[in-house]
Amino acid sequence: MGVRAVSRTRSFGVVVGSYLLALTVAYAVVVLAPPSWHPLVTAFVADLVATFLIFALSMVVDNASLYDPYWSVAPPLVAGWWVVVADGGDRVRQVVVLLLITVWAVRLTGNWAYGWGGLHQVDWRYTHLRATRGRVPWWLVNLGGIQLMPTLVVFLGLLSVWPALAGSRPFGVLDVVATAVTAGAIALEAVADLQLHRFAAAVGNRGRIMATGVWRRTRHPNYLGEIAFWWGLWLFGVAAAPSWWWTLVGPVGMVVLFKAASIPLMDRRSLDRRSGYADHMREVPALLPRLR
């Protein structure tokens, strides 16, 4: 059966089945991992194996967007397992961190599901990569650029979650700051996506530039919220175990990903599709709002 003949309901069935299979394979890695492996190593290997499986299935259905929910599905599963195997750790911090990651994951996955039409729909960025890849095989672009790279970046972001869950320092002032940053980031993403959906749903807004609400202060408030979320998790890690400060490679990696890849692609597309967007770029900053 061709991909275009699959209904939206059956498409989601394929997604759920694929991710259950990936979860099963990842769990097998956890069970079979040598006892000498650190939980970070075990989670990383399981994460890679699950990613390779989703990649293989995305090639079978000829839709790289099968990977899209992986970004938000994997973190709460990894964090949940780390809570189980952590030797010690402050219980209050564990509950707060796991709750925030779960809320973030459910909201972000739900936002993806809301906008995904089914297996016939492929993210426009993937279509662009496929058309401009030159002589590079599509399977290599799909694996490296679309699936493996985000998995690695997200895992870098999760590095600080391990000390946050296993660190012995009691819940303190820095944890309160981390909670505010992380919860605020989730709220910003939710508001930005809600405002964008409402704007896009209005027929009269077709071809217009989104420049109201939080989108009036920053061109990419959803990206700003996503970056702030990972910085918030890093603050939890530092609060629990200051010696793990080096895990800031995670949130820094997020900044690099969005500044070097996601934002330029979105801006370039908007420049091609919306008149006046060049002026909009000069007036509204990409991420951090101006003080005035």
- Please list the alpha-helical segments (H only) found in the chain: 8-32, 39-60, 70-85, 91-115, 124-131, 138-141, 149-158, 161-166, 173-201, 221-240, 249-257, 263-273, 277-283
Q: Which amino acid is at 157?
A: G
List the one residue out of 74, 72, 71 whose CA is nearest residue 105: 72
Q: What is the pLDDT of residue 2?
A: 42
Give me 43's structure tokens: 């989670």
Query: Any idea which residue has 């509950």 for tokens?
Result: 95
Q: What is the pLDDT of residue 1?
A: 37
Instruction: Give per-residue pLDDT as tens, 91-104.
Output: 999 999 999 999 99
Give, as one character, the DSSP assignment of residue 136: S
Instruction: Give per-residue pLDDT as tens, 255-277.
Output: 999 999 999 999 999 998 888 99
Average pLDDT, the chain: 94
Q: Which residues of the chain have pLDDT under 50?
A: 1-2
Give the predicted TM-score (pTM) of the model. 0.94
**Counting Cβ atoms within 10 Å, is residue 235 exposed (0-12), middle (13-18) or buried (19+)?**
buried
d(CA 163, CA 219): 34
CA 17 to chain centre: 20
Q: What is the pLDDT of residue 206?
A: 86
Give me 124's structure tokens: 């426009």
Angle at 112 between CA 4 and CA 227, to 5 degrees: 140
Give, as one character, the DSSP assignment of residue 258: I
Q: What is the pLDDT of residue 62?
A: 95
List the one residue out of 35, 114, 42, 11 whose CA is nearest residue 72: 114
